A and B are shown apart, each in its own frame.
Chain A
Amino acid sequence: MTTDGRPNPYECGPVQGNHTAPPPDYSGMDRRGALRVGVTTAMAVGSVALGFALRDRGSHKNTRALPTIKDHRADKPAGATDMAIVRGSDPATNVRKAIEALGGMGRFVRHGERVVVKPNIGWNRLPEQAANTNPDVVAEVVRLVVAAGAGKVWMTDASVNTPEQCFARSGIEKAAKAAGATVVRPDASAFREVNVSGKLLRTGDVLFPFIEADRVINIPIVKQHGLSLASMALKNWYGVLGGQRVKLHQNIHLSIIDLAAMVKPTLTILDATRILLANGPTGGSLADVKQLDTVAAGTDEVALDAFGATLLGLNPNDVGFIVEGMKAGLGTPQWHNLKTVELGG
């Protein structure tokens, strides 16, 4: 009160209304408060931990271990034949005789083993155009592998043209399926990255059967090729790769050797039933095709390619990848010096 009896506006009167509420308690925490502190702390710690866990440690991508394709070669029995060349009108019979001459499929495939056969199915062409391996040859190889007791037979290739059309029009898919193979189309999901560890190629995306199989059988066709002069056994390994394989042409001979050194097949069957003499490796015109009714089989890809080169009228010493293959120790072009059997024709 002021002296004149009027209320002093600055003076606090008695508290109105809410005076019964207890004063807030700042001394401790109730249960809900504790929970909130806990949650907030967890979120703070969690976000810091997550941030550190996701932290980009710089790109050292190649530190992770990539699979390597194993050496698929079989032990050679003493005195076994290295190479067989068979001539005859029926391609399947030629294959059978050639394998028999090498000692039977049992020499290469044991019971329960998983096998991948790799014909050339690069192009959307018919069998008579000789741009892909002969379907009867592929089917006979599959049958022999199945008869040898293989647990699984994959048949695959990375086509250059649209895969489903190549697989269908080459006649190979149908023939291989009927003979008992599992056909693997080169979809994006079928490739795995592997170490190539070659002179040019470090890594590459490879069709998965080549990583998983116990045995690999190469079934190339003999064709002329614009850049490498010929496409036969060694060149056929381009077909295990996906990705930007067109870059390989900048040094085609060494790339071929890098890939051939990576795969090392158990057995190679060279299809020269029909060969393509010009406009290879795609062909198209029947005028460029020559019927030879020949199948060669063996374990030395360089020797088989040297033999194939002679069919195309080439001197093996002029073919870069044959020379490089010999230098790299993949085999010998002197197929006459190997233990070779020639049958028929």
Chain B
Amino acid sequence: MFRWLRRAYQIVFLGFFLFLLLVTTAGLIRGYDVQWLLEFDPLVAVTTALASHTLYGALLWSLVLIVPTLILGRFFCSWMCPMGVLHHALGFLARKRRPPDRARQNAPRPSHKIKYLVLAVMLGLAAAGSTQIGLLDPIASTWRGLATSVMPALGNLAFGMYQGERHFQWGTLITLVFFGALALNFVYPRFYCRVLCPLGALLGLLSRFSLFRITRRQEICKGCKFCGADCQGAADPQGTVRATECMVCLNCIEGCPRGGLSYRFLPPLRFSTTKIDLVRRKWLGAGVAGVVAVPLMRASDGVEPRPNPARIRPPGSLEEDGFLGKCLKCGACMKVCPTGGLQPALNEAGLEGFWSPILIPRIGYCEASCTLCGQVCPTGAIEKLTVAQKVGEMPARPPVRIGSAFFDKGRCLPWGYQTECIVCEEVCPTSPKAIYFKMETVTARDSAQKTLKMPFVDLDYCTGCGICETRCPIVDRAGIRVSAANESRTPRSSISLTGGKI
């Protein structure tokens, strides 16, 4: 009975997750808080707060999970986690047939301690200012996997009827990691959850204090081990129950043929253990490794002082330091971007910024009156903007700039080939247009004089939206391209004196 109640909850939460994912697209999004489940994630709250020294308002939802976890234990993993449901289902398919074999699959192993080290490394990274939790956090990973790999594949098969064709650069990597994690269930059920999941580790730590615990009545037990046959957390219900590993799936209670197990309020302490069996030195070592990794990563060529021109951040993004402290790489902004231009970075933002969002204007531009990426960002790495803020009103209120456009005169049709074009000027959304032309008389190959409209960029008006690059008729590398220079999120990027700041 408990089991069916749990399954009902799992299906409801997965359905809810999928619904929020589905409506995260320009045509369907309303005022929903589409990142609601991610905002429940205390690990996101803890790491982003550590890294940025502020807690983004919506992440207060995570308190709603911390408090019941302190009381009930690590129930989240078996009742709410969308990735947990998928792993639960696959683990069920991959399990062995005979209950004793299954009990052996579900035995505690030393490797299950790895997740605590993963957590310590992640917290160390965050303490030093780099949020990398999204790479392994189950909700962020599931978001990213579905949003940039599974949904685009399904949508493209359906002729783009859902949200138009979508392509994500090196999405194959995301696919491999996402499905690779799922495939680990064939090693043994819930491999990822038991060995790697840092959120599970954090909730496990909180569960050390839990008031409700599984207990086994030793006077009834005949040692059949049926209770361990489907134990999700490998919590050893046939021995001393491990409170930190128990996911409160309640399979052990249903599995016991003699009714010897129960989930009880304040059972005697000797029936369960809260030991993780990691000496302090290992905790510290992992944490320090995380802290030290950040200056090491930043000493490499990734971010400063040689910013990559392709590191074009979504409009409203914080300065790079703050951005890397908050961005989870969950892919919500990439999913909602109406043109599909927001893409997971590879090396454009350094190793630290791997899979963080950048705009690739050749794929899609930044729609002038759209502020959806900031609306769906769960951590405030991209701030919420109003259309008026984003568009600005020159010269009093400058617009939000994400970069600026530069002509490649050898590839531009009027400049390089004396051919009429001016598509960039036509599509330029600012008013007055950032791209303007002057009439120039040129000499064609046959010595004929020809008067052409030659395009120029006015940096005061250019917002770097990139529609000129998207629409440029030079099909592969455009004749006008946007680079991140002159983005308005930091005065350091400014290239003109007009901003007033040096």
* Contact surface of A with B, Cβ cutoff 8 Å: 123-125, 160-165, 169, 187-189, 225-227, 244, 246-247, 249-252, 278-279, 281-285, 288
CA distance in complex: A165, B429 (Å)? 14
Question: Apart from A226-B433, A247-B473, A282-B427, what 12 extra A-B contacts exist at CB < 8 Å?
Answer: A160-B471, A161-B429, A162-B338, A164-B26, A187-B160, A188-B164, A244-B475, A249-B421, A249-B473, A282-B426, A284-B431, A285-B432
- Find the residue from B160, B370, B423, B453 having the highest chain A CB count within 10 A: B423
Q: How far is the CB of A158 from chain B (nearest CB, A)?
A: 13
Contact call B431/A249, Cβ cutoff below 8 A: no
* Bound: A165/B26 CA distance, A: 7
How distant is B31 from chain A, measured CB to nearest CB, in Å? 15
Q: Determine whether the beta carbon of A225 is less than 8 Å from that of B426.
A: yes
Contact present for B433 and A279 (CB under 8 Å) = yes
Q: Which residues of A contact B421 (CB under 8 A)?
A: 227, 249-250
Whole-angstrom distance from the CB of B361 to the nearest CB of chain A? 14
Q: When A165-B338, A187-B164, A188-B160 are in contact, do A249 and B420 touch as well, CB less than 8 Å?
A: yes
User: Which of B27, B369, B453 is A227 in contact with, Cβ under 8 Å?
Assistant: B453
Is B165's CB within 8 Å of the partner chain A? yes
> In whole Å, how far is A320's beta carbon from the nearest beta carbon of chain B?
11
Residue numbers in A under 8 Å from B472 (CB-CB): 246
Within 424-450 of B, Cβ neighbours of A (below 8 Å) are at 425-433, 437
A-binding residues in B (CB < 8 A): 26-27, 159-161, 164-165, 338-339, 367-370, 391, 413, 419-423, 425-433, 437, 453, 467, 471-473, 475
Contacts of A244 in B (CB 8 A): 473, 475
Give complex CA distance A283, B453 in Å. Answer: 19
What's the minimum C-beta distance from A200 to chain B, rounded to whole angstroms? 13
Verify B368–A124 contact, CB threshold 8 A.
yes
Q: Bound complex: CA of A181 vs CA of B92, how far in Å? A: 50
Q: What residues of B have a CB within 8 angstroms of the CB of A164 in the complex?
A: 26-27, 338
Separation in Å of the B314 CB from the closest CB of chain A?
15
Interface residues of chain B: helix, strand, loop or mixed (majority): loop
Complexed CA–CA distance, A226 and B160 (Å): 32
A204 to chain B, nearest CB (A): 15
Q: Look across to chain A and name the residue whose beta carbon is closest to the beta carbon of B437.
A: A226
| Cβ contact within 8 Å between B160 and A279 | no
Interface contact A250-B413, CB-CB below 8 Å: yes
Q: In the complex the two chains form, what is the Cα distance from A343 to B437 in whole Å?
A: 40
Q: Are B159 and A188 in contact (CB under 8 A)?
A: yes
Partner of B426, one of A162, A169, A187, A281: A281
Q: A246-B473, A249-B423 are in contact. Are A165 and B160 (CB under 8 A)?
A: no
Q: What residues of A have a CB within 8 angstroms of the CB of B430 in the complex? A: 284
Most chain B CB inside 10 Å of its own CB: which residue of A189, A225, A250: A250
16 pairs from A and B in contact (CB 8 Å cutoff): A123-B429, A124-B429, A160-B471, A161-B429, A162-B26, A162-B339, A164-B338, A165-B26, A165-B338, A189-B159, A226-B422, A227-B422, A247-B473, A250-B413, A282-B426, A282-B433
Question: Which chain A residues lie closer than 8 Å to B433 at the CB level?
Answer: 226, 279, 282
B164 proximity list for chain A (CB < 8 A): 163, 187-188
Q: Which residues from B are CB-within-8-Å of A227? A: 420-422, 425-426, 453
Q: Residue of B at shortest CB range from A284? A: B431
Contact A284–B429 (Cβ < 8 Å): yes
Q: Give the Cβ gap from A344 to chain B, nearest Cβ, in Å.
A: 31
Chain B residues near A226 (CB, 8 Å)? 422, 425-426, 433, 437, 453
Query: A285 to B428, alpha carbons, bound, how many Å?
Result: 13
Residues of chain B within 8 A of A284, CB atoms compared:
368, 391, 429-431
Q: Identify which of A162, A188, A189, A247 gathers the most chain B CB atoms within 10 Å of its CB.
A: A162
Instruction: Given A187-B164, A247-B473, A279-B432, check contact A165 B427 (CB 8 Å).
Output: no
A162 to B160, CA, bound (A): 13
**For the complex, what is the distance from the CA of A251 to the CA of B432, rounded to whole Å?**
25
Taking the closest CB of chain A, its distance from the CB of B334, in whole angstroms, is 15
If A227-B426, A246-B472 touch, whether A124 touches B26 (CB-CB below 8 Å) is no
Q: Are A279 and B471 in contact (CB under 8 A)?
A: no
Q: A161 contacts B367, CB within 8 Å?
A: yes
Residues of B with C-beta under 8 A to A123? 429
- Complex Cα gap A288–B432 (Å): 9
On whether the beta carbons of B431 and A283 are closer than 8 Å, the reply is: yes
Given A226-B437, A246-B473, A250-B420, verify A279-B431 contact (CB < 8 Å): yes
CA of A160 to CA of B420 in the docked complex: distance in angstroms? 19
Q: Which residues of chain B have C-beta atoms less than 8 A from A281's C-beta?
A: 426
The distance from the CB of B385 to the nearest CB of chain A, in whole angstroms, is 16
Q: How long is the Cα–Cα vector from A169 to B339 in the complex, in angstroms? A: 16
Q: In this complex, what residue of B is CB-closest to A226?
A: B425
CA distance A188 to B475 in the complex (A): 18
How far is A251 from B423 in the complex, measured between Cα atoms in Å? Answer: 12
* A252 CA / B422 CA spacing, docked (Å): 10
Shortest beta-carbon distance from A325 to chain B in Å: 18
Contact A188 B165 (CB under 8 A): yes
Complex alpha-carbon distance, A227 and B422, angstroms:
7
Chain B nearest CB from A319 CB (Å) reads 15
Among B339, B420, B426, B431: residue with most chain A CB under 10 A: B426
Q: What 7 pairs across the A-B complex have the smallest Cβ distances? A: A284-B431, A285-B431, A189-B159, A162-B338, A164-B27, A246-B473, A227-B422
